[in-house]
Amino acid sequence: MLIAGNWKMFKGPGETAAFCRALREADLGDVDVAVCPPYVSLADAVQCLAGTEIGVFAQNCHWAAEGAFTGEISAPMLRELGVYGTVVGHSERRQLFGETDESVARRAAAALEHGLHVIACVGETESEREAGKTEDVLRRQVSVLDEDDNMVVAYEPVWAIGTGKTATPQIAQEAHAFIKSLLDLPVLYGGSVKPENAAELAAQPDVDGALVGGASLDLESFVSICRAASQ
């Protein structure tokens, strides 16, 4: 069971250091834990969590090792900082920054090749779900990913992200089972995970953890989610 906090564009280096210092003292129960701070805060997170089992992930990673790619960061650069892994294909990247299945696949492959762990995000929009296209969308998004021991998938229905509308445990379970029928990898659930719903989601047979956005920004709430999921 992996509980990863996706901080999005929140917490600069100072706030990150304070959060990570408190996190290392917290009782997180029996789960693997990771945080995904913004790029500028990664070094502080790595430093403050050194010697713990808590992983530090970036939120994205370019496919080239270096080059003329203004605004991008490469896997070797993340490795040099001591970062453990990276998220790729988050729906905000796909929807707001033009990422495609192909660019997500290239980012994932390069990260793995350079020794990073990967959380690869997939998920349908509300209109895709309403049109009965959920499985087609998941199949398309998953088909570009290769099985790898260092990769997990995060199922994040777009309609559940930051909306307070969590997928029911049954919807999550169904989607996770479908993804696993295509790719033999652990699948995290993401989308409005909170301390109140984490245990029930984590209890589903094919839910192997959570990618938590908003509720991961507050220490107490993130710790509660970790402990709820570990039961």
**Residue 170 contacts by C-beta under 8 Å, 6 or more apart in sequence?**
none
Segment contacting ligand PGA (CB under 6 A): 17-25, 54-62, 173-181, 211-219?
A: 211-219
Angle between helices 219-229 and 13-25 (to 10 degrees): 40
The one among 73, 75, 193, 207 contacting ligand PGA by CB under 6 A: 193
User: Which residue's beta carbon is nearest to the bound ligand PGA?
Assistant: 213
Smallest distance from ligand PGA to CB 161, Å: 4
Binding mask 83-122 for ligand PGA (x = CB under 6 A): ----------------------------------------
Which of residues 163 and 181 has its CB atom nearest to ligand PGA in the complex? 163
Q: Is 162 in the site for ligand PGA (CB under 6 A)?
A: yes
Which position among 99, 124, 128, 156 bears the catalytic label? 156
Smallest distance from ligand PGA to CB 158, Å: 9
Q: Is 229 in the site for ligand PGA (CB under 6 A)?
A: no
Residue 109 to residue 127: CA distance in whole angstroms: 29
Which of residues 90 and 180 has its CB atom nearest to ligand PGA in the complex? 90
Angle between helices 219-229 and 195-202 (to 10 degrees): 20
Which of residues 8 and 133 has its CB atom nearest to ligand PGA in the complex? 8
Segment contacting ligand PGA (CB under 6 A): 13-21, 74-82, 169-177, 212-220?
A: 212-220
Which position among 62, 90, 117, 176 bears the catalytic label? 90
Give Cα separations from 131 to 87, 127, 140, 144, 167 (angstroms).
Answer: 28, 6, 16, 23, 17
Smallest distance from ligand PGA to CB 68, Å: 30
The one among 44, 99, 124, 156 contacting ligand PGA by CB under 6 A: 156
Positions annotated as catalytic residues are 90, 156
Binding positions for ligand PGA, rule: CB under 6 A: 6, 156, 161-162, 190-193, 211-215
